[in-house]
Structure formats: structure tokens, C-alpha cells
Amino acid sequence: MPRLRPATRTTLVAWLLLSPALVLLALFTHYPAIATVWRSFHSTPRGARPAVFVGLENYEAMVADPIFWTSLANTGIYAAATVPLSMALALAMALLVNAAIPGRGLARLAFFTPTVLPMIAVANLWLFFFTPGYGLIDRATSALFGWGPTNWIGDPQTALGAMIAIAIWKEAGFFMIFYLAALQAIPPTLYDAARVEGASRWTTFRRVTLPLLGPTSLFILVNAVINGFRLVDHIIVMTRGGPDNATQLLLTYIYEVGFRFWDTATASALTVVLLVMLGLLALIQFAALERRTHYR
Amino acid sequence: MTARSVAQPANAHRRPVDRAALAGRALEAFAAWILAVLWVSPLLYALWAAFHPTAYAVTFDLAAPLTLENFRAAWDAAPFARYFLNTFVLVTMILAAQFVLCTLAAFAFARTRFLGSDLLFALVLVQLMVMPDILMVENYRTMRELGLVDTTLAIGLPYMASAFGIFLLRQAFKQVPRELEEAATVEGCGTWRLLTRVYVPLARPTYLAYGLTSVSYHWNNFLWPLVITNTVETRPLTVGLSIFAAVDQGIDWSIISAATLMSSGPLLIAFLLFQRQFMQSFMRAGIR
Amino acid sequence: MTNPRTLTPNRRQTLAGLAAAGAALAAPAVHAQGATEITFNYPIAVGGPITKIIDGYCEDFAKANPGFRVKPVYTGSYQDTLTKTLTAMKGGDAPSLACLLSVDMFTLITEDAIVAWDDLPGSDKGWLDSFYPAFLENSRTGGKTWGVPFQRSTVVLYWNKDLFREVGLNPDVAPASWDEQVAFAQKLTKREGEQTTRWGLQIPSSGFPYWLFQGFTTQNDVRLMNPEGNQVVFGDPRVAEALKYWVDLSVVHKVHPPGIVEWGTTPRDFFERKTAMMWTTTGNLTNVRRNASFPFGVAMLPAGKRRGSPTGGGNLYVFKQANPAQREAAARFARFLTTPERAAQWCIDTGYVAVSPAAFETPALKAYAAEFPPALVARDQLPHAVAELSTYDNQRVTKALNDGLQAALTGRKQPAAAMGDSQAEAERLLRPFKRG
């Protein structure tokens, strides 16, 4: 070792440290991503017919497929709704259970329960909540507002909203934990100072609390965006993308095309679209995250 | 925790007869409870359905007889003990591997500039958003070629090198003051000891936060394990639970509830018991 | 991902565990001869005890056929089983025998996965002809038999006798025609002010509406596809007419819930008296018998221009990758499973329709039917039954129809327009499979 130039040695050590992670990344992210792009330019092999190069044919078919556009739009709505709503609710919950209210521990536990209830099982319980007539939601809306039965997941108007509500339920309580931890880490002296200056609660929140939650919010944001695209288990259980593709997301459609239609070529083209979208998001988020470290 | 939480904005106006503040606090408590009830309602319903006969699954009658029959039926329908063990092994394995791999990689990125570091970091970042779930089809082929289909390792392998973990730890390591590192080096610490004695302990909250997301992710993960596993020896809880999901004879909410409670009960109880310690170690430094 | 019509409540048994058990069970003598072992991928479709029944069959088979062993692998729903089986096949590791949906026949042929039963050692025409013709309809194409009926079902009507009595209908008579179905449902629908508290009739439309829809189309005297599986007639006016009847049940007559009706909750709606009649699979018979707190009846679906219902469920397929000895083992095992006595017992234990007329002549099934007459309804309906929709590129063509049906049922499209769109999409999908 001492014989090597320091720069060379540093590089060697760094590569050594990185190699296990890089091998795995190459094997399970880079290679499959490239292979997906490659396959998207080929036909689906079937039985005795091997795959042949078809150029952009799969993409042309995809663009001509109305379900692709529906799923793309739905994915946008789904992510755009679940990410901010679950984060805002998480913050609200954290603020509420950070205060000295009776039964605080139980409330925290209540918020945390969705995290440990696997979606695949709890989706069936949600099916009961959404059942028209005797489902819990209809019973509640009937008792409170006198509404009649609503076919929440059987109506294209409300089905996607119902799926979003479940995703928010699943996410918000989990994110709440991180906000709560961040709130507890804020030194009480800062609040004392704000009080001395006669700041209102809203000003205190905006000027003291919120800025200090910045890093946590970014951490949560990355998680929320990832889940905004991949949390589809309940959709697969409850609606399978229906009715009439009203809850079809890009990922559910990829699964359907790839593992039900056995059309790997089209599934690859769809995956490439998702890859590009997520890659762009990763870049944007990285820029945001890097900026944060700079001003620190 | 209690000592700190009294010093909250809610207590900012502590004049004895501030009615508005009192009303505000009552309102907040009320809002908290409404939200809590909403959030816990699926669990409450599961408790109702699991402990009552199927006939009462959707009829809330206080006189309904109690039963453990649903638990017996669910227990017989799938080897839950085994699934639980599988999930536990899987989550532990992934978490351990993630901690080790991400620590090493993050350390390299945080503390050294070396030939190709920017390029490599960009290559890592690709995975920040591209979760392996999306590349299922290709990853299945790879696993088949590696002869790993239907192994616990195959479920975990694509997740072990996590860009998110590398990124978070890199940020944490970057905030370790240079002086600490220099002092340690003067005392004769090698790279390895520097990492284990200085960097890792200082990044503890980050490990905790990341660990929580990882455990929650893999505890709940369904699609990839479903595709890559075939047998009871490898299938995690989520895949085991899915057998109640799509049903010829219609959904039996009682048995699903019993299965759900059996599979998530241990985690719930653990959270209830360790909530305090957990939050305390978390809050010590927050997530940076 | 999971075929909703079917579940697998039992995965207690495991591949490795079974392998070990199989090895332990095999008689030493058999071992010495080097027994032929075949893997049997099996979707469990009813409750837990089914695994035990299948395990028992495999053990009995090994005893009765020295030198052959069957290793059952429980692979989840039909959809999971197909996914697993095809994925394994592509890796060169196909099972010798699998129970998959009858409608997967064309998919399996396209994938070049299976061999026809006609050419297998130990199979003969007499045996293959012994099944109900309705079940063979989507087991045969191009003059060959690709699937052997095993776990088959059909759609029937269930009704609540108490509610019939309550509204003054004869509790023992189900509606026999489309008009009666509407008239009965109108009487049975109960409203309180603006709200409907009980529906007359419920027909599930989530997941796989095409299957129940085939009841309507058959009753309206139209077949959705040709036997070659490369042409569909969704655009036929009679199809639109059938769909209009279904849509009108909720839109015009208001006797059926609007929008999509969930398959999984429909039996519960029936138990909760939220609907007085429902259409669902014969596979629900045991469930309804156990959970309905009121007397209920089971009947053939009402007739339109004629009676009609689709068949459904699973067939046995032999995979190409099996070697000659394994193929022989598969054929022997299939014959073993479909003997009238076993088919009868299978019907009694599970609620599936016994696959051959001979099975209904066995003393066991006769005694059971005497005690529980609804068990015979499915059989009596078989002469009116048609093959479940099955074409090349089956899942996609089916999706084209499902989407059209759901668009019409949710009011997004008019029935005729919706079926026209489904037809156009299906034409596009089937073009590569049309010869000449």
C-alpha cells in the first residue's frame, strides 16, 4: 500500500467500498433498465416465434392505446393527490399528538396502525368500508348527512378517489412518525424566545417550526413520491384497475400486460415510460436535496 | 419525552383564564381524536369481525357471541407461523445488508473525491426513484439465470443496494465535522475505525429513520415477493395473506380480519411497548 | 393478479415439504424400480380441506399405480397458477400436469406449451367422449382435445324464499324468463323514500363481467366467439340487446344496483337481504348453504329467447416438456381423477359440477341429490350451457369486452356503442390469428 500514490490509494479504497453496492445496482437496476429498453424495440416471443426487431412499433401501439393514456393520467392524479395530502395530514397529526392532549399515546398508536397492517389484507377490509348500503362509510354518511347508498368503488367518478383515500390513510400515519420526531427535536428555548417576542401561534409555526422541519419534509417527500408511483397493492386487490380502467395506473397496467397478457414487449415499452418519468423526478429531487446541504 | 413536550406552542399562552386558548386546545384534542378514530377504524373493525361469528361480521350487535373460531380457521388455512418467520428473516436480512452496503458506499462518496466519483454517484442516483418493483420482469429473468427463484435471498437482493440509503447516509456523514475526523486520525485511527467509531455513531438517527422506512416497506411489499416465490418456505406474510384476497365464494371478512390481526399483532404490540424508547432515540437528533 | 373467481385458502403444503412427504410415502419397492414422478400444479379454489382431498388422491394413486407418483404443488388462484406455470415453462421447468382455466386453452396453444390428450399413451376416445359436451366445448379445437374437464362450474340464480313469500311470490318458483325476472325483481325491490333498501336482483360486474354477461348473450341466442377462437361477434345487435337488458335492470327498472357490482361482496349482500336474488357461480353453493340464515332456492338462469349460461372452471393440461413416461403418468392420473365415483365425491365435497353423466348415476351422488336437490341444478342447466369466452390472446380480448361492459354499466357509453368499441379492439387483437 505505501508504494501507491495517495490519490491512487484513495480511489482504490473508494472503489473497494463501493463495489458491493455497485455490483448489486448494476445487476438489479442498470442492467434490467437497459434490457427493458432493448426489449421495447422487439416483438414478444411466443411459442416457436422468436423476438424480432420491430423498431418503434411497440411505442406506436402504446401511443395508440387509449388505456395507456388513461393510466398515465390516473398515475398523475394519484401521485399529485397522495403526495401533498398525505404529507399535510402527517404534519397536522404530528402537531396534534405533540401537544399535551389526553390519550396522546393511544392517538399515536392509532395513526401508526396502517403502517403495520399489510395493504394486501387491509384492502379487503376497505372493501367492506366502501360497500354500498351496509358498508361503514355509507352507514356513516347516511347517519350524518342522510345520504343514500353510494357505490364508491363501482363508479368511475369515485373509484380513483377511494383508492387515493386508502393510500393517504396508509401513508400519513407513517410519515407522522418522522414529523413527530423532528418536532420533538426542536429546542424549547426557540419557542420561549418566540413567546417573549409576543409572536402568535401561527407566526411561531411559520417562522420557527416549519423551517426546522425542512430536512424532514424532504426526507418524507422522497418517500412519498416513490410510494405515489408504486403503492398499488390495494388497487390490484380491490378493483384490478376497473371499473373500465378508472383506477388503472401505469404500474398496474404494466403488471397486467406483462404477467397476464404475457406481452413482454408492450410491458417493456410501458416500463420505459415509467422509467423516464421517475428518472426525471429523481433528478429534480436530487437538485432539491443537494441545495439543502449547501445552505446548511 | 414528557419533559419536552410540555414546552409546546400550545402552552405558549399559559395565563389561567385564557378562554380562547383553552377552547383552542379542546378543539385540537377533539380533532386529534376524530383523526385517530378514523385512522384506527379498519383495525377496530378487524377486531370486531375477527372475534365474532361470520353472521355478525357486518351487523354490530353488542349481544353478538364471541368466538375464536375465525382465528382457528385462518390459522388452518395458511401456515402463518412460517410466513411470519419468513417475513422476519427477510426484513432483517435486507436491513442488515442495506446498512452495511449503504454505509460503505456513503462513506466513500461523503469523504473522498476519487476517479469517477461523480459518474458513479450519478449511477447510484438512478435508483433513487426506480424501485426494483418496476423492473420485475427483467429481474425475474436474472434471478432465474442465477438459480435463485423461490429463495428468500431473491426477494431481498434487488433492494439491498439502496440509493436512498446511500444518499441519506452520505448527507449524514458529510455533516460530521472535519475536526473530529482529524482528531481521530491523529490518535491513530485507520479508515475502518474512523468509520465505525466516529461516523456510524454520529449518524444514528439517520440509521433509525432509514431503518424504519425499510422495515415498513418490506413488511408490506407484495408484488415482487409474489412473483419470485413459489413455496411456503419462502413466501412472506403479505403473499400468504393474499390467499384470502380474491375469492370465489365472496369475501369472508371475519377470517380475513383474524388473519390480519394474527399477522400484524406482534408489530402493533411492539410499537405500543417501545413507542417511548423509539421516539426518544429518534428525537435525540431528528433526521438531518 | 389473482383470478377472483377462485381462491386458494390453503397453502399449508409446500413444495419441499411435499417432496419430502412424497419420498417418505413411496414404497421401497417403488423406489427400487425408479418411479416416474410428475409435478401437478393445482389451484385451490375452495376451502382448506381441499388440499387434503387432493393429497389423498395422490396417495391413493401412488398405491394403485406402482411406479408412478404425483407431487401436487398448490399454486394459488388460477391466475397465479397460470403465471407460475408459464414462467416455469419458459425456464425449462414446466410441471407435467396442471389444472388451469378452460379458457386458457388458446393461450397455452399459442405458447406451444401443451400436448393434446388424444395422442397420449393410456388415453382413448371413449374416455374423452365421456364428459358433458358443454364442458368439452372449450376443451377441444381443431379436432383435438387439449383439456380434460375436472373442476368445472356454471352460473346459476339464487333466491331468498323468505323475501319471495314476503312480497307475495310463490317461494318455490324462480323467474323463468327475462320478463318474469324483471317483474319479480320489481316486486322484491324495496324503497324507503328516495333510497333503495333492498334490490330485487344483483349480478356481479367487477373483475370478469364477461362471464356473467355470457348468460345474457346465450339467452339472447348469440354465441360470442367461433370454435376456432379467432373471431368474436361483440358487435352483433343481439349482444347489444343483451347488454341493454342488463343495463336497463338498473337504469329503467331500478331493480338492480347502479354501477359496478362487486363479485366478492355479492354473496354477503344476499345473506344480508340487500338483494333478493343473485347470479353467481355454482361454486358458491356450499358457502350459501352454510351462511344463509333463510331458506334459499337455486335455479337455472331465466330464459330469454332460450335458456343459457356459460360454463367455467378448470381443465387438466399436459405439458410438452413432460417425457413419455411422465405423459403416461399424467394420463393415468387424469383418468384416475375422473372416474365416476371420484367425480361424484368431488362434486359432493366441493360443489363443483361432476364432469360426466356417469358420475350423476353413482349411488353416492344420487343420495346426495335426494337430500339436497339444488346440487342438480347445474347439471340440468348443462344442456343449455355454452363454452366460456375463449379466444386467441384470450386475456386481452376478454379485457376488451370487460371494459366495454363496465363502460355501459357505469353509463359512460351506450350499450351498442360500447360493444362496437369492444368489437373493434378485439378485431385488431385477433387479426394475426386469422388464416387466409
C218-260: pLDDT as tens digits: 999 999 999 888 999 999 999 999 999 999 999 999 999 998 9
Residue C24 has pLDDT above 50, yes or no: no
Task: Please tell me the least confidently modeled range out of A171-175, B110-114, C17-21, C321-325.
Answer: C17-21
- With 80 as the cut, is the pLDDT of residue A291 above it? no
Question: Which candidate from C111, C262, C409 shows the least CB-CB separation from A46?
Answer: C111
pLDDT above 60 (res C102) = yes
Beta carbons of C362 and C340 less than 8 angstroms apart: yes
Mean pLDDT of chain A: 86
Q: Does C264 contact B247 at a Cβ distance shorter than 8 Å?
A: yes
Q: Which of C197, C260, C265 sits opposite A242 (nearest CB)?
A: C260
Q: Name the more confident of C31 and B58.
A: B58
Q: Is A127 on the interface with C (CB under 8 A)?
A: yes
Instruction: Considering only the beta carbons, identify the residue of A201, A271, A286 that sits closest to B125.
Output: A286
B147 touches chain C (CB under 8 A): no
Is B26's pLDDT higher than 50? Answer: yes
pLDDT at C365 over 50: yes
Average the pLDDT over each of B198-202, C15-19, C431-435 and give the range with the smallest value. C15-19
CA distance A113 to B71: 20
Interface probe with C: pick from A68, A134, A244, A256, most Cβ of C within 10 Å: A244
pLDDT of residue C8: 33
Using the Cβ of A206 and the Cβ atoms of chain B, whether some distance falls under 8 Å is answered with no
Predicted confidence at residue B4, as pLDDT, reads 41
Cβ contacts of C264 on chain A, cutoff 8 Å: 124, 127
Per CB-CB distance under 8 Å, the chain A contacts of C406 are: 242-244
Q: What is the rounded average pLDDT of the residues A111-136?
A: 86
Is B246 near chain C, with CB under 8 Å?
Answer: yes
Residue C404 or residue C14, greater confidence: C404
C-alpha angle C67-C70-C74 in degrees, rounded to nearest 5: 170
**In chain A, which among 43-62 make CB contacts under 8 A with chain B?**
none
Cβ within 8 Å, pair C87-B140: yes
A54 lies within 8 A of chain C by CB: no
Helix B163-174 to helix B80-111 angle (10° resolution) is 50
Which three-class secondary structure state does DSSP give residue C137? coil
A236: which 3 cell numbers?
390490484
Average pLDDT on C343-352 reads 86
Contact B232 C45 (CB under 8 A): no
Mutant choice from C262, C392, C429 vs A, greatest count of A C-beta within 10 A: C262
Mean pLDDT of A250-267: 86
Q: Does A75 touch chain B (CB under 8 A)?
A: no
Task: Answer yes or no: do C2 and B149 touch at CB < 8 A.
Answer: no
pLDDT (tens digit, 9 = 90+) per residue, B117-146?
888 888 887 787 777 777 877 888 888 889
Closest Cβ–Cβ partner in A21, A32, A195 for B161: A21
Nearest neighbour of B248 by CB, restricted to C6, C73, C293: C6
C291 to B54: CB separation less than 8 angstroms, yes or no? yes
* Range C136-142 average pLDDT: 88
Average pLDDT over every residue of A217-237: 85
Closest chain C residue by Cα to residue A50: C111
Report the pLDDT value the prediction gives residue A88, as an integer from 0 to 100: 95
Residues of chain B with pLDDT > 90, as a percent, come to 18
For residue A196, how many other CB atoms are within 10 A of its CB?
Answer: 8
Q: Which chains touch A (3 or more CB pairs under 8 A)?
A: B, C
pLDDT attached to residue B244: 66
CB contact under 8 A, A282 and B125: yes
C-side interface with A, Cβ within 8 Å? Answer: 1, 4, 79, 83, 86, 107, 110-113, 194-197, 205-207, 257-262, 264-265, 268-269, 272, 274, 393, 395-396, 399, 402-403, 406-407, 409-410, 412
- Could you say which residues from 183 to 242 on chain A have a Cβ atom under 8 Å away from some Cβ of chain C? 236, 239-240, 242
Which residues of chain B are within 8 Å of residue C45 when distances are taken between CB atoms? 248
Reported as a pLDDT band with limits 50, 70 and 90, residue B95 is very high
Distance from CA of A161 to the nearest CA of B (A): 17
C94 half-sphere exposure, CB direction, 13 A CA radius: 23
Mean pLDDT of all residues in B268-285: 69
pLDDT digits (tens, 9 = 90+) for C298-309: 999 999 999 999
ipTM exceeding 0.90, yes/no: no
Does A236 contact C112 at a Cβ distance shorter than 8 Å? Answer: no
Lowest mean pLDDT segment, chosen from A178-187, A285-294, B165-174, C197-206:
A285-294
Residues of A in contact with B236 (CB under 8 A): none
pLDDT on residue A146: 80
Find, among C21, C8, C384, the residue nearest to C223 by Cα.
C384
- For residue C194, which residues of chain A lie inside 8 Å, CB to CB? 148
Mean pLDDT of chain B: 80
Q: Exposed, middle or buried by CB within 10 Å (0-12, 13-18, 19+), for B241?
A: buried
Q: What is the mean pLDDT of residues C26-35?
A: 45
A139 inside 8 A of chain C by CB: no
pLDDT of residue B284: 57
Dist CA B281 CA B156 (whole Å): 27
DSSP annotation of C305: S
pLDDT at site C291: 85
The count of C-alpha atoms lying within 13 angstroms of the C-alpha of B96, restricted to the half-sphere facing its C-beta, is 7
Average pLDDT, chain C: 85
Question: Helix count (H) and strand count (E) of chain B?
Answer: 15, 0
pLDDT given at position B249: 61
Closest Cα of chain C to B287: distance in Å? 38
Interchain CB distance below 8 Å, A47 and C113: yes
In the prediction, which pLDDT does A203 show? 86
Residues of A in contact with C272 (CB under 8 A): 134
Tens of pLDDT, residue by residue over C376-398, are 898 899 999 999 999 988 889 99
The answer to whether residue A190 neighbours chain B at the CB level (below 8 Å) is: no
Q: What is the mean pLDDT of residues C141-148?
A: 91
pLDDT score recorded for residue A85: 96
Identify the CA nearest to C337 among candidates C320, C359, C363.
C359
C406:A153 CB<8 A? no
pLDDT at residue B286 is higher than 60:
no
d(CA B225, CA B87): 10
CB of A271 less than 8 A from some CB of B: yes
pLDDT band at residue C21 under the 50/70/90 scheme? very low
Q: Which residues contact C42 (CB under 8 A, 6 or more apart)?
A: C54, C72, C73, C74, C75, C81, C98, C99
Tell me whether residues C274 and A133 touch, CB distance under 8 A. yes
> What does the DSSP 8-state code read for residue C321?
T
Q: State the average pLDDT over residues A180-201.
A: 83
- Report pLDDT digits (tens) over A90-102: 999 999 988 878 8
Residue C272: closest CA among chain B residues belongs to which residue?
B58
- Per residue in C312-340, pLDDT (tens digit) is 989 999 999 999 999 999 999 999 999 99
CB-closest option in B58, B227, B243 to C11: B243
| 3-class DSSP assignment, residue A65 | coil
Residue C219 has a pLDDT of 96
Smallest Cβ distance to B251: which of A23, A93, A127? A127
Residue C232 DSSP code = B
Verify whether the Cβ–Cβ distance B250 to C266 is below 8 Å: yes
Q: How far is the C-alpha of C331 from the C-alpha of C353, rounded, in Å?
A: 21
Q: Which chains touch C (3 or more CB pairs under 8 A)?
A: A, B
Distance, in Å, from the CA atom of A171 to the CA atom of A225, rounded to the nearest integer, reads 11
Chains A–C, number of C-beta pairs less than 8 Å apart: 90
| HSE value, Cβ hemisphere, 13 Å, CA-based, for C55 | 18
pLDDT of residue A270: 93
Given an 8 Å threshold on Cβ–Cβ distance, is A244 in contact with C1? no
Question: Of the candidates C76, C40, C45, which has an alpha carbon nearest to the alpha carbon of residue C59?
Answer: C40
Q: Is B85 on the interface with C (CB under 8 A)?
A: no
User: Does the pLDDT value for residue C184 go beyond 90?
Assistant: yes
Q: Could you report the per-residue pLDDT of C34-93, keeping only the tens digit for each?
A: 678 898 988 864 344 567 788 889 999 999 988 899 988 777 778 778 877 887 787 677
Residues of C in contact with A60 (CB under 8 A): none
Is A41 at the interface with chain B, CB within 8 A?
no
Q: What is the pLDDT of residue C255?
A: 95
Average confidence (pLDDT) over C280-284: 86
A296 near B CB under 8 A = yes
B44: pLDDT strictly greater than 60:
yes
C265 → closest Cβ in B140, B233, B250: B250
Cα of first residue to Cα of last residue in chain B, in angstroms, is 20
What pLDDT, in 10s, does the model give residues B153-197?
999 999 999 888 898 888 888 888 888 888 888 888 888 888 888
Residue appearing with cell numbers 402504446: A62
**Cross-chain residue pair C265–A153, CB shorter than 8 Å:** no
